[in-house]
Every structure is written in C-alpha cells, then in structure tokens.
C-alpha cells in the first residue's frame, strides 16, 4: 500500500524531529550549560546568598574581618578593614563574583555542606533566613595591620607564619583594593586596566626572582656535601664561562669561610660553589624545597618555577645566588624559611583554623600537618647558626632585636627591569626568631624598590617579629 | 493477590513514580500538607480506574493510555510542586479529561455519522471562531479565551480537532464531499471540493492569525501538508501548497512585528535578556541549572521562569528532574507517535485512517514545536505541551483526541478478533 509507505515516512520524519530535540538538549547540557548558568542574569546564582546570612570571618583573636548585613532588603557583605584583607579574604560581590577565601569556603559560609546539597534543604520560599557558618583565621589582625602600614604605598608582600605549626599570621600584598561592593564597583574598570595589577595577590600569586635569600638553599646543599669546613678566597669578582659575577660594590673579602660568605652575601663564593655542586645537586635541593610541587593552600598559590633543562656553568652560578631563570612566591619562600627554623621540616601552611556553626558548634578544624622534610635536622641547625651571623654581623643587622636572637638573610634581586635601568631590584628579607625556639618566620619583599634588602626590607621584618614576640 | 505488584506491569511504574514524587514534594517543600498525598492518591486512583476500564471493556490499545498517564502524572507532579492550588485544579481537570476520554471513546464508536457531517464541522468551526472574536477575553496576553460561568477555556483547542475531522471527511472521498447532485461534472466537482479544502484551511489560518496563535497556525499547516502528502493524489497540487507557504512566511517575517520579534529573539536572545529575550533565556537558565539528574523536586528555582506552568513546563522538568527526564519525556512522546501511527497503519477505514494520522501527527508536532521552542531549537511559539501543561481546555481536548484514537484502535483490534495483547 502506497499510503502506508508514506505514513511510515511521516513516522520516520517525526521520530527524527524528536531525536533532534534529544540531540540539541544534550548539546546544551554538554557544551553550553556552564556558560549559560554563569550568566549574570541567572538569578539562581545568588539564590543561596539571598536565603542565607553569610557567615562571619574572624581573626585568631576574634576580631571580625568580614560579616554580612541586611541593607535595603538585600544582603551586603561588609569588610570593616576595607582593603586590608583584599588578598586574603577577597570579595563577595553580586556583580563580580567571589574570590579567595570567599570563594574557596563559599559552601561553608553559606552553610551548604554535602548533606544539604544532596537532600537540598535550600529551598525557594523562605520563612526565615538561614545562618551560614563562621570561619576563624590563623591571621593575627594586629600583625596584618602592622605589615600593611610598614609596606606603606610600596608594592610588595609580607608573609608571617608560625614555623612550628604552619599557621599564617600575616599575609599582606600591595597594591590592594577596597573589597566593599560599592567601592569595588566604582574602581573596578580602572583596576582591571591598571598596570600595577592590584588584583594580583603578590604574597601568594606573585612570582619573583629570590636573589641572595636563596643562598640559604644553596648553602644547605653545600653543607650536605661537606664543603662548609673549607675556606675560600673572595677577590670580589669572578668570571665563569666568560660571564663576570661580582659582589655588591665589587668588594673583595679575601680568605673567608662559608658562614662569613653568607653573612656578607658573597656572590663570588656562592657562584663558584654552585658550579662545584653541579646541576644534579642543585636540582635536587631545589626540588626538595618545593620547586615543582603544588602547594595546597586555602587560596590559590602560584607554583614556583625552575626553568632549566640543561644547565651551563654560568646557569649554575646564577642559580646558586638566586638569580637566573628561577621564580618563587613570597609564601613559598616563607615556607622554606620556616622549614629551616623548624629543623628541616616544612609545615603545611594554613589560613583557616576552624569552622563553627552559627550556634558555636565546631564543624571542622584544621590541625598542623607536615608538608615535607627538606633537610636533615643537623643541616638545618648549621644553617640557623649561619643565618644568625647574617643578622649579628652581616648584611641583615637592621633585623636585630634587643635581647632576642634573630636569624635571617637579605636579598637584592635583579629582574627584568634592572637589566635596562639600575635602581629597580627587588628588596628581600627572610628571617625567623628566636633562633633557639622559633615562633615566627617572616618574609618581606618590596618589588622594584631599587634599594637593598638589608636597608629597607630587614627593618620591616624586624618590627613585625619584635611586635609579635612582645605581644606573646 | 500479590500478582499486581509485579514489575512486568507498566502501570506499577506509574504508581511508583507518583508515590515517590509526592513523598519528595511533601518533604522538600516543607509545607507538610497532607493534601499532597490526596493529590497523589487521586491521580493514582484516576489512572488505575481508567486503565481498568480500558482492560475490562476491551477498548483497544492499552499502551496509548499508559504512555499518556505517565505524561499526565509528570505534569500534575510538576504543576503541584510549582503551585499547589493549580495542582489541585489540574487534578480535577484530569478527572474531567479522563471522563471525556472514556466518553469520547464510546460515543465515537457508537455514533457512526462522523464522516458525513462535514458541513456541520465548517459551521461549528466558523461559529467558534466568531464567538472567540466577539466574546474573547484577554488572558495571559492572548485574546482567545471565552469565559462561561467563571470557567475560561480556549475554543481553538476544539477548532483544531474539528479541522482534523474535516480533513478526514474530505480525504474519505475527495470529490464527493459537497456539491453532490447539483449537476456539476466530475472534474468540476473535484476542483470545487479542493477549493473548499484550501479555503477552509485558510479560514482557520486567518482566524488564528487574528488571535496571534502562531504556534497553532504552524501546527494546522503542518498537519494539512502531511495529510496532503500521504493522501493527495495530485503531486502538482501538493507542490503548489508547499510553494504557497513561502511568501506567507516571508510576509509574516517582514510585516508582522510579532513574528519578527520571535525570530530575532530566537537567533540571539542574549542581546536583550531583560526584555524580549527574557522568556527564552530564563528557560535556558532553568534547563542548564538542572544538569543530568536535576536539582531534585522542589529544590530548584523553576518559578523564576515565566509561564512555567504552561508553555515552559518542560524547562521546569529539566531543571528539577534533570535532562535525562527531559529526554525520557521526549521519548515518551515519540513512543506515543509511534503507537498512534502503528494503529493508523492497520486501520482499514479511510476516514479513521486520515483521522488517526491527523491526530497523531498533531500530538507529535505540537510537542516538537513547544519543546523545540523552549530549548531554543526553533522560534518560540506559545502552545501547550499535551497532557503535561497546566490548563483545562488543553487537557480535556487532548483527552478527547486520545479518546478518538483509542476508539480507532479498538476498531482495528475488532477487525482481528478483539485480541488486545498482540504480543509484539
């Protein structure tokens, strides 16, 4: 029957239409849905926000750093210290989304744990507002404020951590910005276009050449290889593979040992020893201190870079004095410093100490945890001793605190700008105190400061350590 | 006794779906109203009773009703979740619809004059369109509702059925529809009748245009084209009809602002999310938010989608029950179309055959037009999703259609000796 044949054709046509529907629906789901859901006009994104009073964020002593409040019928996130925590807590904005802790702990702050997600107790018609959970940070507000003030309007970062526990005590990045919604909206466009990159969290995501501070890492390898007993002749300048390396001010120190070489930050001797160690041993110590390892932290951290395949002798020399193609984040350097202070063991850094429900019940707490062992305790002990010498008699004198033994190392790092013009080096200081029982490890970096680490970074670290230890 | 609890009986799945869904609603919506269970049990009772009637009275194909009752259940669940009062009303409408379904099925079988009253179809159709034009109220932006005694309904739902009945009358004997015994020659008669067919189609399109029911126009024209394709003897006439639609569509795009807006927002709804693209973008937000498994009943925000009870109910299903349920719904409609056309293939009587073809393609295409619209596959036209969307006239007329199809299927089985379970 001709008609029946045509009816079957109609059936096939209609079925194809249905299959096209299924195909297109799948296509939306697989390729488009993520983008569609994130559209700012999709009010679902803010649904949970609307129904929940977002939890508070407090420092280690209970000072409120962020809270939410009902204003004109909408919930507003308020940051009482405006820009102080822009690179720690971040922002929570209806327009610009969320960042840092506000983003990584969003579900906790909104009180959405896995249980409520699955059995879905965030519902449409709300009788009363839910309260989110509160975060307690390891941050010491006074110390954070001090770091912020000391940096002033210079760009850079200050990281302070407890070397024995991994608690982050202060995490300052400059430039920063006011995270309160209204101010954020006003300045957003200018900030996005700004060359200063105010959105870059220098302390965690900024990558810098570490400069002479990295001599402590090289020194660890030198001690491990038994070269610390020898004496070396420093003529102020050395030529390696046709490339000249000189001390600061081309100063010649003559016959000195490793301790003295570190104290005066002799480029000549460390470069020379770098070549002696060779690629394998240098790479080994770098890998051990955490190059190429992802640092899991409460907020995103840039991975430190060691960009060599095959090293030439002048590469080894450069790397040994913290120059060349190596980049570290201030947080990572603070971890390495803590590792030395903590007898060779780096503790995992953390920002959030515990999460409590609105009724005060502890939901989750974070305990100290080992990150990795970077060197044997005896090596660390020798390094500590050498680093103390840096502060006692070397380049780091300005970090000295009366009555307390301080260990440290200065750095003045060449970078892409110093190649063209002088006076653009990064000023570094790393240190910890008290040497015999380290309570605090500090890293200070002032980018493109044009001054030496010993002159401008060391005093900042000194004040922070002094303040913290006095406070205890 | 426990024989009814077997997994082999599809009806048990429908009961299970309802039980689970209303339990979820009861828990998730947190209003803890026991009417929730009343609605659920009501639907289960209605579906089971009707199913028993079909089985006991040997009313033909049982799967048609099983597929539809699954769709109906999903619809009532979703509507009740979105709006409790609307859900209760929809349950009442389901009752009326099912009564109409069984009644239509019997009436259609017992009264055998349906193929001889073409002139009345024309008359009734014109009458319905005229009273809509004169007494029509504007509800939800469309002036095609008639309010009688506080109840509102859309006559065009009936007009669509009448149009298919008319098509069936015409194709039963294409040259003997009208003008019999008036002294015209055979060829003249055939031409005049063909003219009546075209004019009646245009009459429908014209009145629907006045009501701005673009979806229904698309539907009626598609049915016309399909039936003409299957039963029209004259290829030239068929091609003429196809060609004729092109200038009409172009005219619509360039001169009817309403259509132009629909097409423009279809091409890029993101250009004006807050304005013209509002409906479709909200629908896409809902569909995308659901993921594969959905947010769970009562846990999404489909209430943010406008007209979510009616035109956009599919988006709500996708959001809360997931794309997979969305696909399942589409496949159910595909099965329904398949089942319908399978019946049509076996029917002997020409009138029933055309009628079945028209009805089934109408159900299939209506589904495609509205689902395609809400997922932005084709321009959005507001028509209802059969058996799922909220609305009395849509539900009742869909059940009348199903009743006719059921009656046709019974005759089909009567031909082969009343065998119900054919075991294919």
Q: Report residue B62 as tokens.
A: 């049982």
Q: How far B139 CA sits from the closest chain A CA (Å)?
A: 26
Query: What SS3 class is residue A26?
Result: helix
Buried (b) or exposed (e) across A424-454, using 16+ Cβ within 10 A? bbbbbbbbbbbbeebbbbbbbbbbbbbebbb
Contact assessment for residue A448 and residue A417, using Cβ atoms and an 8 Å cutoff: yes
According to DSSP, the residues that pair with A131 across neighbouring strands are A53
Instruction: Provide the phi-psi class of A273: left if phi over 0, else alpha when psi is between -120 and 50, else beta.
Output: alpha
Which among A4, A14, A43 has the least Cβ separation from residue B345? A4
pLDDT value for A27: 93
Q: From residue B351, how far is each of B168, B170, B227, B414 by CA, in Å?
A: 5, 9, 12, 16
Q: What is the pLDDT of residues B97-146, one digit of tens each?
A: 999 999 999 898 888 888 888 888 989 999 998 888 888 777 665 667 77
Q: Which sequence spans correspond to the domains of chain B?
A: 2-115+231-415
State residue A126 phi and psi, 5-degree precision: -100, 130
Q: What is the pLDDT of residues A258-274, one digit of tens each?
A: 999 999 999 999 999 99
pLDDT value for B292: 86
Q: How many Cα atoms occupy the beta-carbon half-sphere of B227 within 13 Å?
A: 34
Q: Which residues contact B60 (CB under 8 A, 6 or more apart)?
A: B54, B406, B407, B408, B409, B410, B411, B412, B413, B420
Contact assessment for residue A444 and residue A429, using Cβ atoms and an 8 Å cutoff: yes
Instruction: Provide the phi-psi class of A8: left if phi over 0, else alpha when psi is between -120 and 50, else beta.
Output: alpha
State residue B61 phi and psi, 5-degree precision: -60, 125
Instruction: Provide the phi-psi class of A347: left if phi over 0, else alpha when psi is between -120 and 50, else beta.
Output: beta
pLDDT value for B142: 64
Q: Note the Cα B391 to chain centre separation in Å.
A: 12
Element holding A151 (H helix, E strand)? helix A141-151
Give the other-Cβ count within 10 Å of B268's Cβ: 9
pLDDT value for A175: 93
Q: What is the pLDDT of residues B241-278, one digit of tens each?
A: 888 888 888 887 787 777 888 888 888 888 877 778 88
**A38: closest CA among B380, B289, B343?**
B289
Write the DSSP symbol of residue A167.
B
Which among A4, A8, A44 has the least Cβ separation from residue B285? A44
Residue in the structure block whose two tokens are 């160690």: A277
Query: What SS3 class is residue A266?
Result: coil
Mean pLDDT of chain B: 85
Q: Which of A447-456, B50-59, B408-417 has the lowest mean pLDDT?
A: B408-417
Q: Give chain A positions within 8 Å (CB) of B334.
A: 14-15, 18
Q: Give chain A positions within 8 Å (CB) of B333.
A: 18
Q: Inspect the interface and report whether the beta carbons of B303 and A124 lie closer than 8 Å.
A: yes
Helix axes A377-393, A215-224, angle to 10 degrees: 130
Pairing between β-strand A407-413 and β-strand A168-174 as defined by DSSP bridges: unpaired
Q: Does residue A359 belong to the interface with chain B, where contact is any CB pair within 8 Å?
A: no
pLDDT value for A61: 93
pLDDT value for A72: 73
Percent of chain A exceeding pLDDT 90 equals: 65
The CA distance from A53 to A351, in Å, is 22
**A441: closest CA among A472, A406, A470, A417?**
A406
Q: What is the pLDDT of residues B16-65, one digit of tens each?
A: 999 999 988 888 777 778 888 999 999 999 999 999 998 888 888 888 99
pLDDT band at A1 (very low <50, low <70, confident <90, very high): low
Q: Inspect the interface and report whether the beta carbons of B285 and A36 lie closer than 8 Å.
A: yes
pLDDT value for A165: 95
pLDDT value for B423: 36
Contact assessment for residue B25 and residue B321, using Cβ atoms and an 8 Å cutoff: no
pLDDT band at A358 (very low <50, low <70, confident <90, very high): confident
Q: Does residue B304 belong to the interface with chain A, where contact is any CB pair within 8 Å?
A: yes
State residue A157 phi and psi, 5-degree precision: -150, 155
Q: Does residue B323 belong to the interface with chain A, where contact is any CB pair within 8 Å?
A: yes
Q: What is the pLDDT of residues B337-368, one digit of tens each?
A: 999 999 999 888 888 999 999 999 999 999 99
In A176-306, where does DSSP find H-type helix? 181-193, 202-205, 215-224, 258-263, 267-289
Which among B230, B327, B372 has the least Cβ separation from residue A6? B230
pLDDT value for A313: 92
Q: Inspect the interface and report whether the beta carbons of B287 and A15 lie closer than 8 Å.
A: no
**B230: closest CA among B360, B404, B336, B413?**
B360
ipTM: 0.92
Q: Inspect the interface and report whether the beta carbons of A18 and B292 lie closer than 8 Å.
A: no
Mutation choice for B interface testing from A3, A16, A18, A30 by most B CBs within 10 A: A18
Percent of chain B exceeding pLDDT 90 equals: 36
Element holding B14 (H helix, E strand)? helix B10-28
Q: Is the pLDDT of residue B3 over 70?
A: no
Contact assessment for residue B203 and residue B125, using Cβ atoms and an 8 Å cutoff: yes
Contact assessment for residue B336 and residue B67, using Cβ atoms and an 8 Å cutoff: yes
Element holding B50 (H helix, E strand)? helix B35-56
DSSP conformation letters of A73-131 = TEEEEE-TTTTTTTTTT--EETTTEE-HHHHHTHHHHTT--HHHHHHT---SS-SS-EE
Q: What is the arithmetic mean of pLDDT over A447-465?
A: 92
The C-alpha torsion from A319 through A324 and A325 to A327, rounded to 10°, is: 80
Q: What is the pLDDT of residues A153-177, one digit of tens each?
A: 999 999 999 999 999 999 999 999 9
Q: Give chain A positions within 8 Å (CB) of B327.
A: 22, 25-26
Q: Does residue A37 belong to the interface with chain B, where contact is any CB pair within 8 Å?
A: yes
Contact assessment for residue B364 and residue B177, using Cβ atoms and an 8 Å cutoff: no
Q: What is the pLDDT of residues A376-427, one digit of tens each?
A: 999 999 999 999 999 999 999 999 999 999 999 999 998 888 777 667 899 9
pLDDT value for A48: 65
Q: Report residue A328 as tokens.
A: 């570290």
Q: Is the pLDDT of residue B336 over 90?
A: yes
Contact assessment for residue A221 and residue A240, using Cβ atoms and an 8 Å cutoff: no
pLDDT band at A122 (very low <50, low <70, confident <90, very high): very low
**A333: closest CA among A160, A139, A173?**
A160
Residue in chain B lying closest to A39 (CA)? B285
Element holding A161 (H helix, E strand)? strand A156-161
Q: Report residue A158 as tokens.
A: 């200050």
Give the other-Cβ count within 10 Å of A252's Cβ: 14
pLDDT band at B180 (very low <50, low <70, confident <90, very high): low
The CA distance from A211 to B269, in Å, is 55
Q: How far B338 CA sits from the closest chain A CA (Å)?
A: 7
Largest CA distance in chain A: 110
**Residues within 8 A of A (CB atoms), B 332-391 only:** 333-334, 337-338, 341, 344-345, 353, 357, 361, 364-365, 367-368, 371-372, 375, 377
pLDDT band at B1 (very low <50, low <70, confident <90, very high): very low
Q: Inspect the interface and report whether the beta carbons of A36 and B344 lie closer than 8 Å.
A: no
DSSP conformation letters of B65-104 = HHHHHHHHHHHHHHHHHH-HHHHHHHHHHHHHHHHHHHHH
Q: How far B131 CA sits from the closest chain A CA (Å)?
A: 34
Q: Inspect the interface and report whether the beta carbons of B377 and A120 lie closer than 8 Å.
A: no
Contact assessment for residue B333 and residue B327, using Cβ atoms and an 8 Å cutoff: no
Residue in the structure block whose two tokens are 């001010």: A249
Q: Does residue B284 belong to the interface with chain A, where contact is any CB pair within 8 Å?
A: yes
pLDDT value for A353: 95
Residue in the structure block whose two tokens are 């037009």: B369
Q: Is the pLDDT of residue A22 over 60?
A: yes
Higher per-residue confidence, B209 vs A288: A288
The CA distance from A194 to A122, in Å, is 40
Q: Report residue A432 as tokens.
A: 């910890």
The CA distance from A370 to A102, in Å, is 26
The CA distance from A462 to A447, in Å, is 18
Q: Does residue A4 belong to the interface with chain B, where contact is any CB pair within 8 Å?
A: yes
pLDDT value for B420: 42
In A353-457, where does DSSP find H-type helix? 377-393
Q: What is the arithmetic mean of pLDDT over B391-410?
A: 91
pLDDT value for B251: 82
Contact assessment for residue A370 and residue A347, using Cβ atoms and an 8 Å cutoff: yes
Q: Is the pLDDT of residue A334 over 90?
A: yes
Please tell me whether the overall predicted TM-score, pTM, comes out greater than 0.80 for this model: no
Size of interface A-B (CB pairs under 8 A): 121
């Amino acid at each position: 029957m001709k008609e029946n044949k045509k009816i079957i054709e109609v059936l096939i046509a209609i079925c194809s239409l249905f299959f096209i529907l299924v195909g297109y629906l799948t296509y939306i789901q697989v390729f488009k849905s993520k983008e569609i859901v994130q559209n700012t006009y999709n009010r679902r994104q803010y649904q949970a926000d609307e129904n929940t009073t977002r939890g508070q964020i407090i420092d280690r002593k209970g000072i409120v750093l962020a809270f939410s409040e009902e204003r004109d019928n909408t919930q507003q996130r308020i940051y009482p210290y405006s820009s102080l925590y822009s690179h720690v807590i971040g922002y929570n904005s209806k327009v610009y989304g969320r960042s840092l802790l506000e983003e990584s702990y969003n579900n906790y702050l909104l009180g959405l744990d896995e249980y409520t997600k699955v059995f879905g107790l965030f519902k449409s018609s709300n009788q009363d507002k839910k309260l989110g959970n509160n975060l307690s940070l390891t941050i010491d507000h006074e110390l954070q404020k001090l770091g912020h003030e000391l940096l002033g309007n210079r760009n850079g970062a200050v990281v302070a951590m407890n070397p024995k526990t991994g608690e982050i005590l202060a995490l300052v990045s400059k430039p920063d910005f006011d995270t309160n919604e209204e101010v954020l909206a006003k300045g957003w466009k200018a900030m996005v276009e700004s060359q200063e990159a105010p959105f870059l969290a220098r302390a965690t995501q900024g990558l810098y050449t570490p400069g002479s501070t990295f001599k402590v890492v090289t020194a660890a390898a030198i001690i491990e290889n038994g070269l610390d007993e020898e004496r070396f002749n420093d003529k102020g300048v050395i030529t390696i593979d046709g490339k000249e390396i000189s001390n600061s001010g081309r100063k010649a120190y003559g016959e000195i040992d490793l301790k003295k070489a570190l104290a005066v930050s002799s480029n000549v001797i460390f470069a020379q020893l770098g070549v002696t160690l060779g690629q394998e041993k240098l790479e080994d110590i770098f890998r051990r201190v955490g190059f190429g390892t992802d640092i899991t932290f409460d907020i995103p951290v840039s991975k430190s870079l060691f960009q060599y395949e095959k090293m030439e002798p002048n590469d080894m020399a450069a790397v040994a004095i913290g120059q060349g193609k190596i980049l570290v984040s201030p947080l990572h350097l603070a971890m390495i410093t803590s590792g030395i202070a903590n007898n060779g063991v780096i503790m995992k850094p953390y920002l959030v100490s515990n999460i409590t429900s609105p009724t005060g019940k502890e939901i989750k707490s974070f305990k100290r945890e080992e990150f990795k062992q970077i060197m044997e305790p005896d090596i660390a002990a020798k390094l500590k001793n050498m680093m103390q010498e840096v502060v006692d008699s070397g380049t780091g004198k300005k970090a000295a605190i009366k009555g307390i033994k301080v260990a440290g190392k200065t750095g003045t790092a060449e970078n892409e700008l110093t190649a063209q013009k002088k006076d653009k080096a990064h000023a570094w200081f790393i240190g910890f105190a008290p040497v015999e029982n380290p309570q605090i490890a500090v890293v200070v970096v002032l980018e493109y400061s044009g001054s030496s680490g010993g002159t401008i970074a060391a005093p900042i670290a000194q004040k922070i350590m002094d303040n913290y230890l006095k406070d205890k | 006794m426990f024989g009814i609890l077997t997994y082999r009986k599809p009806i048990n799945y429908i009961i299970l779906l309802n039980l689970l869904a209303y339990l979820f609603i009861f828990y998730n919506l947190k209003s803890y109203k026991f009417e929730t269970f009343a609605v659920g049990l009501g639907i289960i009772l209605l579906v089971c009773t009707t199913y028993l009637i079909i089985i006991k009275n040997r009313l033909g194909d049982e799967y048609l009703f099983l597929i539809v009752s699954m769709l109906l259940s999903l619809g009532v669940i979703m509507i009740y979740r979105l709006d409790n009062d609307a859900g209760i009303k929809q349950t009442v409408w389901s009752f009326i619809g099912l009564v109409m379904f069984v009644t239509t099925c019997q009436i259609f079988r017992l009264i055998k004059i349906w193929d001889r009253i073409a002139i009345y179809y024309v008359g009734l159709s014109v009458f319905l369109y005229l009273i809509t034009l004169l007494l029509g109220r504007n509800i939800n932006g469309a002036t095609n509702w008639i309010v009688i005694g506080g109840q509102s309904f859309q006559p065009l739902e009936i007009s669509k059925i009448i149009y298919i009945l008319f098509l069936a009358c015409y194709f039963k004997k294409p040259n003997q529809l009208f003008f019999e015994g008036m002294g015209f020659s055979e060829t003249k008669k055939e031409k005049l009748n063909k003219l009546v067919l075209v004019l009646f189609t245009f009459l429908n399109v014209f009145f629907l245009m006045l009501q701005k029911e673009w979806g229904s126009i698309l539907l009626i024209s598609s049915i016309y084209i399909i039936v003409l394709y299957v039963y029209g003897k004259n290829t030239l006439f068929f091609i003429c009809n196809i060609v004729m639609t092109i200038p009409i569509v172009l005219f619509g795009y360039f001169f009817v602002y309403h259509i132009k807006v629909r097409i423009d927002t279809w091409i890029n709804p993101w250009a004006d999310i807050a304005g013209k693209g509002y409906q479709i973008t909200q629908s896409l937000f809902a569909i995308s938010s659901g993921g594969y498994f959905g947010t769970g009943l009562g846990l999404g925000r489909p209430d943010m989608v406008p007209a979510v009870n009616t035109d956009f109910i599919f988006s709500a299903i996708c959001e809360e029950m997931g794309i997979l349920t969305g696909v399942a719904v589409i496949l159910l409609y595909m099965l329904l179309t398949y089942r319908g056309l399978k019946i049509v293939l076996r029917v002997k009587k020409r009138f029933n055959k055309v009628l079945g073809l028209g009805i089934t393609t109408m159900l299939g295409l209506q589904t495609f037009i509205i689902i395609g619209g809400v997922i932005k596959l084709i321009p959005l036209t507001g028509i209802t999703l059969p058996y799922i969307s909220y609305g009395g006239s849509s539900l009742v007329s869909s059940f009348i259609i199903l009743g006719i199809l059921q009656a046709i299927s019974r005759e089909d089985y009567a031909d082969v000796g009343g065998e119900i379970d054919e075991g294919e």
